Amino acid sequence: MATWNSRGLRGSTLEDMINRTNERYREKGLALIQKVPTPITPIKIDKEHRHITLAYFDQKSTVDYIGAVQGIPVCFDAKECDVTTFPMQNVHEHQVRFMDDFERQGGKAFLIIHFTSEQKFYYLHIRQLLRFWNRAQEGGRKSFRMDELDPAYFFESSKGYLVPFLEPLSLDLEQEQER
């Protein structure tokens, strides 16, 4: 059973950065994206400080974020990686299924990966994720390296946005029209 204090704060810096970016996107009328809360059941509570110190997850969550960008439904999950090789074990089957289903319904599904050692972000579309996922499921490599990724989808903080993912999303939409 996964518990709150075992892995609960991992990725919180990235999520804070994305939350601030989403606030700016909303203020500018560019997107409306919300953090999907993970349902938990508290086990131990520090009553003096009013903090949950131990909890378990009620159910598997789908993705971290869901919303709309200029009328286009989007969902994505945020992942952090402190090396240049991303382990596929960081993505769960129920997340892959949800994103694939979301895409089949006409939305855009992707991961935002923060390669912290390189201080770079990567927009990983579900199509590309599925290639790596299927390779791992078929007995191949259980990870992917940064050098396997399309350089056009790397991005950095810019123009006052901490995680400006609308730029690679726009590129993805353009390339999709060309297919």
Residues annotated in a binding site:
62, 64, 77, 95
Give CA–CA dist 18/15, Å, rounded.
Answer: 5
Known binding-site residue numbers for Mg(2+): 62, 64, 77, 95
Helix (H) or strand (E) holding 25: helix 12-27
Task: Name which of 129, 80, 122, 75 is nearest 103 in CA terms.
Answer: 75
For CA atoms 33, 152, 126, 83, the dihedral sign is negative
Give CA separation, 148 vs 116, 123, 132, 155, in Å: 17, 13, 10, 16
Q: Of how many residues is the chain composed? A: 179
For CA atoms 5, 118, 84, 153, the dihedral sign is positive
Contact 32, 98 (CB under 8 A): no
